[in-house]
Structure 1
Amino acid sequence: MASASLPAYHSPTRRPPMKSLDEVRAAFAKLPPDVTAKEIAEATGRAHIWNWSDPTKGFTGFPAPKEPVSRPPVRDRDAVLEWYEKQPFAQPDRRGPRDLTDAIRAARPTTSHLSASELAKVLGITRRAVNKYADRYTPDKTTDPFPQADSEGTRSWSAVRAWLLRHHDPLPKAGSWTAVREWLLRNQADGTESKAGRVFVDELGLTVGQRDLVERARVATAAGVSVPAEWLAELLSLDDPKQASQLMRGTGAVSPPVRRLKPTALARELGVSLETVKYYAKTRTPEKTADPFPEKDSSSARDVAEVRAWFERNK
């Protein structure tokens, strides 16, 4: 009987196993102050570091080679290790595909739109993994594409969340209305509060659970399932079924409740610094401009929608 082992020249090239963060730190401690790309790859358990050194691959901030450039180029060992320790893929609690659903449900971002890096951090995956979803699931390749980025390169968190959840839980094939209804309602009651304990409402005026329901209704409708607008309107507490139909077509929104936040929470919600909020509140007053910064109430809180609209008007 022939041996099960293959000749050496038939053996596939295997990628070195990725090391834990503690193993990487221990390996770096043995390296000289200036390290080559090969040494970095070996210390981290990588085949190479080409992606890290190329910003177009989704990685930023990786230390550049020292000047003047030697042969081979060298980088500062401590700077490289500091950069590596901050990357999502290096974290001890880095999540894999099997428990990504748990990460999705546990995530509580405070802003409605997130960049690829922010999505990666929230989900415990790499930015490259996020970009792979965007590249693989495009409108020309699937009827349910990954949510597209806006002009700022950010994506709706509730839309991404809904897509990821149904990506691992597809619409039942040739199912009865009972099965479809159960699928539609799977996450309706999910995540109505933000990390700060406030209700999270997205750009459509929906909670993440409501957005999941709307997105699933869109997918079901595109697949030929008749989803009654009256039924959806009742679940979303809408007075007019036409509004539910508009939401399913992606052309509508509901009026979000008035939200008022104090400076620190307001800055976090809008993705700006606290100093920025304070600066405009102090310098853009009714006495100095025809379009003043929205005023605060007696508790120093401001209407989030008003402030967001002011920023959009004033860029």
Structure 2
Amino acid sequence: MKNITEVKRAFAKLPERVTAAQIAEATGRAHIHNWVKDPSFPDGEKDHGGRTIYRDRDDVWEWYADQPFARPNRSGPRDLEAKVASAQPTQVLLDTSELADLLDLTRRAVNKYTERYPASEAQDPFPSADADGKRSWSQVRAWFLRKNDPIPAADEGGARDWADVRGWLLKRAADGSEPVDGRVYLDELGLTVGQRDVVERARLARAADTSVPMEWLAEVLHLEEPGQAEWLAELLDLMDTGHVALRPQAPATGEASRRLGLTALAREFGFNKETIKHYARAYTPEKVDDPFPAKDDRSTRDVAEVRDWLVRNRKLRPAEPEGAAADA
């Protein structure tokens, strides 16, 4: 693929009406099949009833120069790791186009990863898409960041040094733990990108026959509520089977359906865990008319219900729904 300056020079040498083959050669591609399917790509006309389609050279150049992949400052694959590490999407699930836009890649480049690292062949395959063609951003992020950071090598007996494995597992554990614009990004599992990175590395370690103690893993992930360690074990077992849907429940479609455990809930509203625990103990149905929202059998609470309760009880300012706690 040529850079934008090289393509501009090549177009300057082309005739006013160009064929698909000439466009491909000028841009350094084998073909332009995908481009001609794009509704925004310039239309062409057949010459005197023939089969060859000709397009206006200047229209094609204008279209090409306007594409994200043609930008002079496009980071490209060489800077991809830095781009991935700093990306701040607002969604937890992204389709191919959204991933491409977020990382300054083409759709084709994203699809190449699925072709080169399929689940049927690769030990660490590119994350699969769900039924809607979307992938977990935190899972994709973790994959890119460990692509050039493999699990520590085993010794001659096939064993790995636990100290080395531990350091590798926790390499990015702190990522995403600090609020951005007053909010911590949590994925479809209610995990930060750093926590998800640890989970994904643990999954890969298990696939490589390296044991990761579940109690230790739950502890470093701060999954301290009753049932959370069991949930983590179930999650990793599900991952081991290669299922596409790695979520323990249906993905949230909006805040009304989001449920979070104690740690994630406290993070969501800018409180510490002890404050949430205090509200749960002090505002019970036996004591008040407006009790704190109850947790379910997975120790999670509805985010929207908790937010409404906090606002009603003057624990959170209505004008600041993204974080800061009000003076109680």
| TM-score, normalising length: structure 1 | 0.67
2: CA distance between counterparts of 1:25 and 1:97? Answer: 22
Alpha-carbon distance in 1 for matches of 2:194, 2:126: 18
Equivalent position SS for 1:74 = strand
Indicate how the Cα distance of structure 1 residues 105 and 35 shifts in structure 2: closer, same or farther if over 3 A, else same: same
Structure 1 residue 247: Cα displacement = 3.3
Question: How much does 1:230 deviate?
Answer: 1.3
What's the offset of the Cα at 1:126? Answer: 2.2
Residues 110 and 101 of structure 1, relative CA distance in 2, 3 Å threshold: same
Secondary structure of the structure 1 residue equivalent to 2:265:
coil
Shift of 1:47: 4.3
CA distance in 2, matches of 1:135, 1:222: 21
**Superposition pairs for residues 153-172 of structure 1, below 5 Å?**
153-172=133-152
Alignment of 1:185 onto 2:170: yes
Note the C-alpha offset of 1:207. Answer: 0.8
Q: How far does the alpha carbon of each residue in 1:193-233 deviate from its partner, in whole angstroms, 9 at most, with x for none?
A: 68655211100001111100011111112222221111111
Q: CA shift at 1:235, angstroms? A: 1.4
The one-letter code matched in structure 1 to 2:212 is V
Q: Distance in 1 between matches of 2:193 and 2:183?
A: 13
CA distance in 1, matches of 2:78, 2:179: 25
Which of 184, 203, 206 aligns to 1:221? It is 206
| 2:32 is aligned with 1:49 | yes
Secondary structure of 2:55's counterpart equals: strand
**Alignment partner for residue 110 of structure 1, among 76, 79, 90?**
90
| Cα distance in structure 2, aligned partners of 1:128 and 1:113 | 19
Query: One-letter code of the match for 1:146?
Result: F
Give the secondary-structure state (helix, strand or coil) at the position aligned to 1:151. coil
Shift of 1:69: 6.4
CA contact (8 A) 1:62 1:80 kept: no
Which stretches in structure 1 are left out of the alignment for 5+ residues?
A: 1-17, 261-292, 304-315
Query: What residue number does 1:66 align with?
Result: 44
Distance 1:45 1:209 in 2: 39
Counterpart amino acid of residue 233 in structure 2: S
Q: Does 1:24 align with 2:7?
A: yes
> 1:23 & 1:139 partners in 2: Cα distance?
37
Distance 1:20 1:97, change over 3 A: closer
C-alpha distance 86-213 of structure 1, shift in aligned 2 (>3 A): farther
Q: Does 2:265 correspond to 1:245?
A: no
Structure 2 counterpart SS, 1:63: coil
What RMSD over aligned residues (CA atoms) do the two structures have, in Å? Answer: 3.3
Note if contact 2:142-2:197 (Cα within 8 Å) is conserved in structure 1: yes
Match in the other structure for 1:123: 103
- Equivalent AA in structure 1 for residue 67 of structure 2: Q
Comparing 136-145 with 27-36, greater Cα deviation is found at: 27-36
Residue from 120, 123, 130 that aligns with 1:143: 123
Look up the equivalent residue of 1:44 and give its one-letter code: T
Deviation at 1:179, TM superposition (A): 0.4
Residues 88, 120 of structure 1: 8 Å contact kept: no
Residue identity opposite 2:70 in structure 1: A
Letter of the structure 2 residue corresponding to residue 242 of structure 1: E
- Once the two structures are superposed, the pairs formed by residues 203-282 of structure 1 within 5 Å of their partners are 203-239=188-224, 240=226, 241-250=229-238, 252=248, 255=261, 256-257=264-265
Secondary structure, aligned partner of 2:204: helix
Which deviates more, 111-120 or 92-101?
A: 92-101
Change in CA separation of 1:152 and 1:24 when aligned onto 2, cut-off 3 Å: same
- The whole-number CA distance in structure 2 between the counterparts of 1:73 and 1:190 is 51
Distance of 1:257 and 1:69 partners within structure 2: 65
TM, length-normalised to structure 2 = 0.65
What is the SS of the residue equivalent to 2:35? Answer: coil
**36 and 150 in structure 1: CA distance in 2 versus 1, 3 angstrom threshold:** same
Alignment check: 8 A CA contact 1:66 1:76 kept: yes
CA 1:246–1:79: 2 relative to 1, 3 Å: farther
2:319 pairs with 1:299: yes
Aligned to 2:253: none
Q: Distance in 2 between matches of 1:300 and 1:33?
A: 58
